[in-house]
Amino acid sequence: MTNQTRPAPAPLLITSRFDSGNIVVERIEGTTATLSIRKDNESDFFQWFHFRAAAPAGTALTLRITGLHGSAYPDGWPGYDAVVSEDREQWLRAPATYDRGEDGGTLTIRHEMGADAAWFAYFAPYSLERHQDLLASAASCPGVTLRQLGLSLDGRPIDCLELGTGEKPVWLIARQHPGESMAEWWMEGAIDMLTDPGNAHARRLLAACRFHIVPNMNPDGSFRGHLRTNAAGINLNREWHAPAAERSPEVLCVRDRMDETGVAFCMDVHGDEAIPAVFLAGFEGIPTLRPERIALFRKYRDTLAARTPDFQTRLGYTESQPGKANLSMATTQIAERYGAVAMTLEMPFKDNDDLPDPRQGWSPERSMQLARDCLATLAEMVGDI
């Protein structure tokens, strides 16, 4: 018999040269990679990562993401597990540990390859291609109008879906912070519900309201793999008091349209890196706070908590003191400017500690279901808004 030498296994290869990709390969030694995260352009923010690892099925990978103590939210790493997919449809959790003292703060992800390639991310990505499919699918439904409000700094459209025959203007906006991709998964759930003619809550809402839905406020940051800013390194959720065409046209075109329509109710959808729960933030500190409007916010919050165990009211942000609200933020500016019942919805990058799911953690599926619960809650009290 002739002795045959088995070929050496293919080396570990890592790339992020795709939509929303972000990783820097520092070095690769066998099946261990040392990595870091690229900062948002013209900004010091960094936390979002998304990359592909290629290695033979069965390979046990060790992926070390270093320098994380200087990230935007270092408290987000303890207790965090990365997400991984080998089909880019289902995203599961890859076990990870965080050591603050190792290489400036290191998240170590361990994963055994089930296929020859796997994608890793901070949360399940929502691609611009899927975003376009979402818009096209919704715009083909009866009664839905797709309106381009303006262009981003990189020339991408800021799109708004409009539907409903009622008089109350309701705005839903998401992904001011592009790395918070769970926000657009939430949007997909909301749009699916509102365009379902058999959904009784949707029928009630569409009869009472005119919806204006911006699924992605920051397409440039989404494509570039940013955590928090647009193409110029601007945090859009600090621009609502004075948006400018040269730095934040995304906010300017949305706020201009809000000036035309008015706003009775607005939900700004986000993700929180550190708090392992779903919660709402309101507008308690605005200068012209009207007691009946903040009472409606609290009624909405408490009704949502009664509807779904995925929402809670114990954990969240500290309320602003009277007259001390930051009016550069969407929720407070919209509440002040239009007298709206406005709120910021936060979902976790980690798991929901009230209902943990070791396999997926907080997920696209739970984000979409939460949207349905949020809209059903609005339907219950729409007469009061």
CA distances from 200 to 21, 187, 203, 226, 310 (A): 39, 19, 5, 38, 22
- Give the integer Cα–Cα distance in Å for 73 and 47: 7
Residue 110 and residue 57 in contact, taking contact as beta carbons nearer than 8 Å: no
The C-alpha atoms of residue 141 and residue 178 are separated, in whole angstroms, by 27
Tokens of 320: 């602003």
Among residues 385, 379, 360, 381, which one has the least CA distance to residue 310? Answer: 360
Give yes or no: 89 in active site. no
C-beta separation of 58 from 112 below 8 A: yes
What residue has token string 């109008």?
A: 145
Catalytic choice (86, 284, 346, 365): 346
Taking Cα atoms as reference points, which of 278, 183, 282, 161 lies closest to residue 228? 183
Taking alpha carbons only, the member of 345, 344, 348 closest to residue 363 is 348
What are the residue numbers of the active site? 346
